[in-house]
Amino acid sequence: MIYLDYAAATPVSKKVVQAMLPYFGENFYNPSAAYGPARQVRADYQEAKHRLAQLIGARPAEIVITPGATESINLALFGVKTPVRGDSAVITTSVEHPAVLECARAIGATILPVDEQGRLNLDDLRKNITDDTQLISVGYANNELGTVQNLKEIAEICRLERFRRAERSLGVPLVLHTDASQAAGYLDVNVARLGVDMMTLNSGKCYGPKGVGLLYVRSGTVLEPIIRGGGQEMGLRSGTENVAGVIGFALALEIAEKKRKSEVKRLEILRDNLEKYITTNGAIINSRAKHRLPNIINFSVDGLDAERVVFGLDQRGIQVATGSACAANKGARSHVLTAVGLTPSQADGSLRISLGRGTTTAQIEKFKPILKEVIENEQKFS
Ligand SMILES: Cc1ncc(COP(=O)(O)O)c(C=O)c1O
């Protein structure tokens, strides 16, 4: 088996599983209960949140634990009070994950185009900000192409806009949110250095358990809950805490941060090696932005039926994706590849290969001829 779909899911590391196990067994208590063992569980939960906060340069009170990135994003987009005053209240880009795009569409946002590498044009952003703009949501690293956005510059644009509003005594807040689901373990996710006001992280993409995420909310940001109930997570996300999940998430992020620099270098070498092989064999590389993740290769062979290639590789014990897993499930054409200007037949002929901690040189060397053979077979029959 060669797993090359780490952008869809990462295996939970053994150490993380070990750290979580006691919270399914002897430490099962509800952290809100008043007795001693429950208080200990509460303390462990708070400690894990503390570590998560530290890892991203935030304060514990700025961390809202959620059941994954999707809900974190929904909270960010619907939680910011956006009276419907036209389409410019929320601005986002055309290459966001559906979790962002579907919320943005429901709100009636401005969805900005990107260039052929998937980058947002900053002049375009500046031009589209109006006095009504309250939220800008730009994904840090794209899940299909790996393109990294210039968040620091975007944060600077927001800072200047806030300054101009203050000078004019205009009380409309402007909040910058980023979906950093694919960034943890590869890019700097320190919120102070990035200058973002809200940030989404996803445990299931950095070798932690699935179904856990967080929303960083800078103190002072006015946010309304979208899920109400017992008042957990400072009232911003009610529901009994997922203690085991958060313990696992904190350790997973800690390990990912420790390994980050060496893992980036290691994966870049593997990626470049595989990419060279793919290019030599006549495919077009779509993931070619200067600033991009070290683990994603997205390429197209015009006219190829990529879904059949995924199936052919699966039969040989190799797992890759066409675009994102969600899009692939629905059999829909990738909105990201369409947004960067690929023709329908190029988009339908594209594969995403994403490397990770378990990827080795031996695996890549084994994968190369199999990929070539499966593509050639598919081309013969199409
Ligand atoms: C960039 C990005 N954002 C959001 C999500 C949604 O994550 P989840 O399904 O875990 O809520 C994903 C998952 O694929 C993602 O890659």
pLDDT digits (tens, 9 = 90+) for 299-335: 999 999 999 999 999 999 999 999 655 555 566 889 9
Parallel/antiparallel/unpaired status of strands 296-300 and 350-354 = antiparallel
Range of the domain at 156: 14-255
For residues 303 and 324, membership in a common domain is answered with yes
Identify the CATH number of the domain in which residue 120 sits: 3.40.640.10
Catalytic residues: 326
| CATH number for position 264 | 3.90.1150.10
Parallel, antiparallel or unpaired: strands 110-112 and 90-93: parallel
Which positions ≥6 away from 365 have C-beta within 8 Å?
none
Cβ-based neighbour number of residue 106 at 10 Å: 12
Pocket test for ligand 1, best of 5, 65, 140, 143 (most atoms within 8 A of CB): 143
Q: Which atom of ligand 1 is nearest to the CA of 96?
A: 1
- DSSP bridge partners of 177: 137, 198
What is the number of domains present in the chain? 2
List, in sequence order, every residue forming a beta bridge with 284; answer none if it has no partner.
300
Quote the Cα angle for 34-37-42, to 5°.
Answer: 70
Judge contact between 324 and 143, C-beta under 8 A. yes
In this structure, the answer to whether residues 207 and 69 fall within a common structural domain is yes
Distance between Cα 171 and ligand 1 center (Å): 33
Distance 259 CA to ligand 1 centre (A): 22
Check residue 85 and give its pLDDT: 58
Identify the CA nearest to 51 among candidates 245, 197, 212, 246.
246
Q: Which among 142, 152, 139, 214 is positioned nearest to 178, based on CA atoms?
A: 139
Q: Clarify whether residues 239 and 365 are in a common domain.
A: no
DSSP H or E stretch at residue 379: helix 361-381
Give pLDDT, residue 23. 98
The alpha carbon dihedral of 272, 276, 277, 278 has a sign of: positive
Helices (H), 83-145: 98-107, 122-128
Residue where a domain terminates, one of 208, 226, 255: 255
Which residues, 6 or more positions from 373, have their beta carbon under 8 angstroms from its beta carbon? none
Between CA 2 and CA 269, with CA 118 as vertex, the angle to 5 degrees is 40
Query: What is this structure's pTM?
Result: 0.96
pLDDT value, residue 323: 67
CA of 345 to the centre of ligand 1 (A): 26
Co-location of 221 and 121 in the same domain:
yes
When computed from its CA atoms, the radius of gyration of the chain, rounded to whole angstroms, is: 21
Same-domain check for residues 197 and 307: no
Q: Are residues 238 and 360 in the same domain?
A: no
Domain final residue pick, 221, 255, 289: 255
**The two structure tokens encoding residue 248:** 């696992």
The verdict on 226 and 284 lying in the same domain is no
Residue 244: the pLDDT is: 98
pLDDT at 88: 80
Strand partners, 354: 5, 296
> What is the model's pLDDT at position 52?
98
Last residue of a domain, one of 255, 290, 312: 255
User: Does residue 229 share a domain with residue 111?
Assistant: yes
What's the pLDDT score for residue 332? Answer: 81
Same domain, 241 and 118: yes
**Residue ranges for the chain with pLDDT beneath 50:** none
